[in-house]
Every structure is written in C-alpha cells, then in structure tokens.
Structure 1
Amino acid sequence: MLHINEINVYYGNIHALKDIKLQVNQGEIVTLIGANGAGKSTLLKTISGLLKPKKGGITFEGITIDGKPAQWIVKRGISQVPEGRRIFANMSVEENLELGAYLRKDKDGIKQDYQKVYDLFPRLYERRKQQSGTLSGGEQQMLAMGRALMARPKLLLLDEPSMGLAPIFVKTIFDIIKEINASGTTVMLVEQNANMALSIAHRAYVIETGRVVLSGSAEELRSSEQIKAAYLGGGHE
C-alpha cells in the first residue's frame, strides 16, 4: 500500500532521514519506535507532503506521492493526526470535525461519518457544541483523531497519540486505534510508549538517528532483549 524507498530528508544542513526504506501493507497497524529526535515525526510529515525528500521516493497504492501538495495527498486517502493534537481551540467540536471533511463534496457520506465518529467517541457527541479549547487532553486527542477520520482515510498516520495523557485515557485511545483498524483503516503509528504500541501493532520499525536499525513483527521486537533494554524499561514489562 505505502512504499518508502530510500528517502533522504534534510532540515537545512541537518540530514534528518537517511536512506529510510519501509512499507505498510493494507490492513496493518505498523508502528515506528525510537527516541526523541530520531526522525519519526519527520517521516510522517514527509509522507503527508509537509516535507519533501531530497532523494528517494514514496508511492501510495502504486502512485508517486512525494513532492505532491499536502491537500492532494489527503484527497488520495492519507490523513495525519499531528503531534500535540493541533485542534482549533476557538471552534466547536463540530466545527473541527467539519474541517476534517473540507475536501469532500458527498453530503450524505459526511453525515454518516459524523455519526461514525460520534459512535467511536461518545464524549465528543456530548460536547459537540462546546469550544474545543475547553476539552481535556484526552478529549482533544479524540477530536484530533475524529477530525482526521472525517477525511475518510485509507491510511491514518498517528503522531504520539498518547503524549501527555493520563494512563486511563492512554488505554482508551489504543483500544480505539484497534477499533479503527478493525473497521478497515490501515494505521501507521509513531509512539513513545513502545510497549503499548507493540501490543497493538502487526509490525514495527525502530528508527535511530534517522535510520531504520531494526524491523520485524511486533511480537519479535517486543521479545528482543535489545529493544527491551532500550525502549521497554530494561526488560521489565
């Protein structure tokens, strides 16, 4: 579905991604794990069209997408939930969701998708007229995910969905990611909480200083001593 072929991305003189090669197959949850500054968010921004690779290419469903405008990529079926949520705080929950569907013209389909989002996140329905800035962190994360789903993506990119959330919300968010995936949306997940990410993913890639250093099934990585020591708290679950 998504093929990333040896891309290199720079911020000025800083070589942020070095020959990154990976793929995401339809129906999977694929997670990227790695320390802060390893290049995970840079990779998602490059897939979304916010950054352009200097070298290498990205194809989605057989079509080249690198270098294309971000809105064109959304139209092709890729939506991103950015790190830090980035909701529109002065707008209502409903208005934020409406913005997620701004490229769509199918009014009936949009109506159905409002309902799907509210079924997934009943709390958003209760607060649909409320200003988004007044929501809790967990509710804002739900709204950011709901807004991305309003574009009806084939591939959902999630950047640090559990960041700054209370543990009870973290479990809820991960349960919902599994539900979104089970209903047919492919998911690419960047997450600091490696243990949670590996518990729901099918496959995983480990990124260190802009390179993929390890990949395999989530189960293999979860039981790897190297990964346990580096990312899972020294082998203790």
Structure 2
Amino acid sequence: MLLEIKDLHVSYGAIRALEGVSFTIDTGEIVALIGANGAGKSTTLRTISGLIKPTQGSIMYKGNDLVKLPPHKIVEAGISQVPEGRRVFTRMTVYENLEMGAYTRNDKSGIKEDLGKVFKRFPRLEERRNQLAGTLSGGEQQMLAMGRALMSRPEVLLLDEPSMGLAPMLVKEIFEIIKEINSSGTTVLLVEQNAHMALSIANRAYVLETGRVVLSGLASELINDEKVRKAYLGEE
C-alpha cells in the first residue's frame, strides 16, 4: 500500500469539513474521489498536501505519517498537487512556471531531462515556452499546471478538478494525458466533478458525502451503481 488515509478529521472553525475519512491507494492506481460540491474532496487533497492540518487522523505514505510535515517536504517525499483552478504564475513565462515545479530539486541534468519530457507530452507548452502563463487558454493553463507538478518527479499526483471550465474536446484530451501519466508509472488521486469521466479512467473510487466516505469500490462497478448514477451521473 502506497498511501493510507486514516480517520481524517478537518474543521474550518465550527464547520466540520471531514469527519473520519479513510481510504487507501496502491502503487500504480488511478483512484477517484467523487461527490457533490462541499463533500470534502478538495479539502482531502489539500490535507494530504499539507496545506491544511487535520484535527485528527493520519496520512501514511510508505509507512511514514505526513501529518506534521510542511508542504514542501511532502513534495520532496514524492507527492505533488495540481490545484483546482490551475493556479499558474500568470506573470511568469511557461518556462519559468515549469522551473518553479522543480524548486525542491538541484539535479540540473535531471531537471533538463524532465523539461524535455513535459514538452514532449505537451507540445503546445513548448511552442509557448516564452509566453506569459496568464495569456494562455484555460486548457493550456491546465496542461501547464500538470507539467509544473510533474517537474518534481512525483510518485503520487493529486489532481483537483482538472476538467473544470474546459470545453468537452479538451476534457477528453486532458483525461487521455492523465491515463498516459499513470501508465508511465505515476500513481494518481483524482478529484473530479465530472464523475462519469473520472470513473471511466479510474481503477477504484470513493464517494464522499458531507465529509464522509459513503461508498467505495471498483470504478467499473460504481459507474453502474444505481445510487451513483442518480446522484452523480445525472441519470434517472
């Protein structure tokens, strides 16, 4: 088991965002977290990344608890997040954004090699390498956010709403890229409003409702589950 989230509790003041969330991720999997807005999906990712500290629970990664580590140490350990809303550095170039993704590293030849891999995977970023990130389209910014996260050579990639605000054709392209990243050896934890797309590429999935896991199983089974279809796939 690569990552084990155990009994995670998070509060924002009096509001309880997570109430005992537990799940596991094995090496090489794509695991999806699905649920309505406000279910606690993004909070879960931000807690794993160290951006939010839980009031209770553990985040075991390769046998070590990450809960007390600062975010940059979690990146160094091998977990990188693509945040909701891209969060690219708009006044920096594409190239500078990608360099920022490697800020925990000092192996110059390895960084150069990974930059080449990112440009191979996202040719549009290479074409626009000297362009300011703020002038890119939404889809290109999503690619840049993913490329930037990959520059830290993560073993686990946390993706928060990668399809948000993108045209259907681009959504398809982004999900193909996620599958490709996974097949080249990166484990993926995916939070996604588009439950159908998430379940179509995931191995397993967990359904969150008001800060709790209420359903879990193989993605291929959940996509055909009547409750899931009604609540999250917009099907009667």
The answer, yes or no, to whether TM exceeds 0.5 is: yes
Contact 1:53 1:67 in 2 (8 A): no
Which residue number in structure 2 is paired with residue 144 of structure 1?
145
The one-letter code of the counterpart of 1:221 is L
Contact 1:32 1:205 in 2 (8 A): yes
Which residue number in structure 2 is paired with residue 158 of structure 1?
159
Cα displacement string for residues 77-108 of structure 1 (whole angstroms, at most 9, x for unaligned residues)? 00000000000001000000000001101101
Task: Please give the alpha-carbon distance, in whole angstroms, between the structure 2 residues aligned to 1:208 and 1:112.
Answer: 42
**Structure 2 residue runs without a partner (length 5+):** none
Cα displacement string for residues 116-149 of structure 1 (whole angstroms, at most 9, x for unaligned residues)? 1011100000000001111000000000000000
Moved more, 226-235 or 115-124: 226-235
Which residue number in structure 2 is paired with residue 178 of structure 1?
179
* 2:234 alignment partner, SS class: coil
Which residue number in structure 2 is paired with residue 121 of structure 1?
122
Task: Please give the alpha-carbon distance, in whole angstroms, between the structure 2 residues aligned to 1:15 and 1:226.
Answer: 25
* 1:176 alignment partner, SS class: helix
Aligned positions of 1:16-27 closer than 5 A: 16-27=17-28
* 1:79 alignment partner, SS class: strand
Cα deviation for residue 56 of structure 1 reads 1.1
Cα displacement string for residues 210-235 of structure 1 (whole angstroms, at most 9, x for unaligned residues)? 00000000001001011000111115
Task: Please give the alpha-carbon distance, in whole angstroms, between the structure 1 residues aligned to 2:84 and 2:197.
Answer: 17
Q: Is the aligned partner of 1:65 residue 2:66? A: yes
Alignment TM-score, normalising by the size of structure 1? 0.98
**Identity, % of aligned positions:** 66
Contact 1:8 1:17 in 2 (8 A): yes
Cα deviation for residue 67 of structure 1 reads 2.2
Moved over 3 A (4+): none
Which residue number in structure 2 is paired with residue 108 of structure 1?
109
Cα deviation for residue 53 of structure 1 reads 1.0
Which residue number in structure 2 is paired with residue 4 of structure 1?
5
Task: Please give the alpha-carbon distance, in whole angstroms, between the structure 1 residues aligned to 2:46 and 2:223.
Answer: 26
* 1:6 alignment partner, SS class: strand
Q: Is the aligned partner of 1:51 residue 2:33? A: no
Alignment TM-score, normalising by the size of structure 2? 0.99
Cα deviation for residue 13 of structure 1 reads 1.1
Q: CA RMSD in A?
A: 0.6
Task: Please give the alpha-carbon distance, in whole angstroms, between the structure 2 residues aligned to 1:173 and 1:61.
Answer: 28
The one-letter code of the counterpart of 2:64 is I
